[in-house]
Amino acid sequence: MAEEQSTPATTEAATEEAAAEGSLLDQIMQETRLKPSDEGYSIAKRGVEAFIAELLSPQRGEEKVDKAIVDHMIAELDKKLSVQVDQVLHHDDFQKLESSWRGLHFVIDRTNFRENIKLELLSVSKDELLDDFEDSPEIVKSGLYKNVYTAEYGQFGGNPVGAIIGNYDFGPGPQDMSLLKNIASVSAMAHAPFIAAASAQFFGLDDFLKLPNLKDLNAIFEGPQYAKWQSFRETEDARYVGLTMPRFLLRLPYGQDSNPIKAFNYEENVQGDHQSYLWGNTSFAFATRLTDSFAKYRWCPNIIGPQSGGAVEDLPLHQYEAMGEVETKIPTEVLVTDRREFELAEEGFIG
């Protein structure tokens, strides 16, 4: 039986197809972040090559697609993706990062920059601030002093800093108290109040949800672990420090009924886990009261009370169904009553 010989036309078509496949493969690989020297490059290239070959292979006829099956497969993929994205969004490190940037955006979005208001960002961690003061023989040699005082307040033609908003939370420990004391010294010299947050650990709590259960705040702060805090409060520089609390909600959970996204049907799972919500440092909310008061009155006296400029409006409210009823997550970690707010103020906090 005679062997079949390929015609020149057939050979030419096969060559063109192989060239096109190779060209397409190269284009796809160039779009990836992989380099030929990377360990997984060859594996990825073979996978893409097999996928292209399957696409270019002759089809044996049109097969009907069951839309219901496809929809079910997509829904299952969305569920798996949602679980994976939850793991990323709810990780402590990612939450800190997202909270920082969304908190900054919160202030920028609510500041009228046409009213001679400037915001300057100083990227420095709490540990770096500690090192800054520890490595400086005196306060006036520290980097914070040079940034806040020397470069602005202490220089002719400089722009004095009106307030320092710190995206930090403080506890009653010796390191935090030492740092707070040093920052207060710089703030006092520059006449720029330092606003940060008090952590739940400051009150001996794991989180602020248990704050209403505290019976006598005054008795708590008479304990020996708060000796440095009480000593700090007696200093003149302490007037330039404000610690706010509790945290506030920065965004609604992602979902079709609350905060939809376009990429896929993502339903962020936050039910039953208070920490899965994205909470922000209250110093950011306080900062918006400062900028709002300055924009209206050219000074910052109207920052306290719902009728006197202290109300932070249009915060997100999360409504969800639980046990057949509609529940509402308030925009702060816990509701602070007028009585508890007064008690907190007596102990040196802004609630």
Question: Per residue in 58-94, pLDDT tens?
Answer: 665 566 767 888 888 888 989 999 999 999 999 999 9
Higher model confidence: residue 42 or residue 121? 121
Mean pLDDT across the stretch 320-331? 86
Residue 17 has pLDDT above 60, yes or no: no
Predicted TM-score of the model (pTM): 0.80
| Residues 293, 298: Cα–Cα separation, whole Å | 7
Query: What is the predicted pLDDT for the residue at 3?
Result: 47
Query: What is the predicted pLDDT for the residue at 9?
Result: 47
Q: Give the CA distances from residue 207 to residues 108, 204, 247, 260, 337, in Å, rounded to whole numbers and listed in that order.
A: 28, 9, 10, 29, 17
- Cα Rg, the chain, nearest whole Å: 30
Q: Give the CA distances from residue 179 to residues 122, 328, 347, in Å, rounded to whole numbers and listed in that order.
A: 17, 38, 19
| Residues 124, 89: Cα–Cα separation, whole Å | 23
Helix (H, G, I), strand (E, B) or coil at 222: coil
| Residues 183, 193: Cα–Cα separation, whole Å | 10
